[in-house]
A and B are shown apart, each in its own frame.
Chain A
């Protein structure tokens, strides 16, 4: 039986994938994607763990090592692997030695971080597949591809969707901010021990950040420039804004997958939000907007067969 696409999306496969890559797809009967997703995502994490000797999180300052300290890292996208990581190699206490110098621990940390981001892409794939049913494989594949491209190179996801102007602007904004931040910080942002959480944000800028870090050779920090704080802020902002741009990429593909016009769909969503705001400000006896308007796709009821 065809699933009602306007209903609230099922969360089970998405959450399962968060804890164990591929398990959501296995639940949906998509065994091939489950196997590939598991091998790629967990393989990346395992390789990164082995290369870094499990020390990638040791760059975190001691005073910040709380129970949820790793929630703001890219690795949190693959939460099951992070939990296994912490069981095998718990965070050291005060007095534990810092990670040894050398590229391997940094490269390993980049691989574990990449595993987290790619698992988020896999979660988006599982989510759309669960929402669309068996007929939505191509749409889910296209969405996952665009998201991965948009993370690798900012704007490339938009380009794959045929949105050339937005792609060029997105690339310019993200890469420009990252370059500005790197210049202001004098390159001290190009290593995870230059600011653990700032690096986490910056990593979301994708390949430009990774390539710059590898090219700089993970510099040892001997001092800070006058505008170091502003530098790490701008580099981090670049990655965070790329994450928002990926939401735009996802929403466009989701609208298309649901057979809707992405532009009209987003406008309807904006209207729904405005209505919700005005209804809160106005009389309390007005009816509440539907719960569906909380989602990225506007609560438009299909009116023709093409919409279904």
Chain B
């Protein structure tokens, strides 16, 4: 349960950061919103990889 809550919270933070970064890079709303899913997936996947490395990695 705790893991699920943490994943949801991570997803919320990643979504917000991805949205604002899309707004900073693209001044056109439609273009920015269209790029959101790609940005979200890439950033979320990168965060999960980093977490997996921190959790299961050699350190």
Known: A230-B9, A244-B21. A252 touches B27 (CB 8 A): yes
Contact B27 A266 (CB under 8 A): yes
B13 x A248 contact (CB < 8 A): no
Contact partner, A270, options B5, B16, B26, Cβ 8 Å: B26
Say yes or no: B27 contacts A248, CB within 8 Å. yes
Q: Chain B: interface secondary structure? A: helix
Task: Judge whether A266 and B26 touch: CB under 8 Å.
Answer: yes
Query: Which partner residue on chain A sits nearest B17 by CB separation?
Result: A241
Contact-residue size bin, chain B (C-beta under 8 Å from the other chain)? 10 to 19
- Work out how many contacts link A and B, with CB atoms closer than 8 A: 56
User: Contact at B13–A267, with CB atoms within 8 Å?
Assistant: no
Asked if A42 is at the interface of the complex by the 8 Å CB criterion, the answer is: no
Bound state CA distance, A237 and B25, in angstroms? 19
In the bound complex, CA of A241 to CA of B23 (Å): 11
Look across to chain A and name the residue whose beta carbon is closest to the beta carbon of B15.
A173
List the B side residues contacting A230 at CB < 8 Å: 9
The contact string, 1 if C-beta is below 8 Å from chain B, for chain A 162-175, is 01011001100100
**Which range holds the interface residue count of chain A?**
20 to 34
Chain A residue at smallest Cβ distance from B5: A227
Verify if A234 is at the interface (C-beta below 8 Å from B). Answer: yes
Contact B19 A169 (CB under 8 A): yes
Question: B41 an interface residue at 8 Å Cβ cutoff?
Answer: no
Q: How far is the CA of A241 from the CA of B28 in the complex (A)?
A: 18
Distance of B55 from chain A, by nearest CB (Å):
17
Instruction: Tell me the bound Cα distance from A241 to B18 in angstroms.
Output: 10
Name B21's closest neighbour in chain A (CB-CB).
A244
Nearest CB of A to B49, in Å: 20
Interface residues of B, Cβ cutoff 8 Å to A: 5, 9, 12-13, 16-17, 19-21, 23-29, 31
Closest 9 CB pairs of A and B: A266-B27, A263-B27, A241-B20, A263-B28, A165-B29, A244-B20, A262-B27, A248-B24, A248-B23
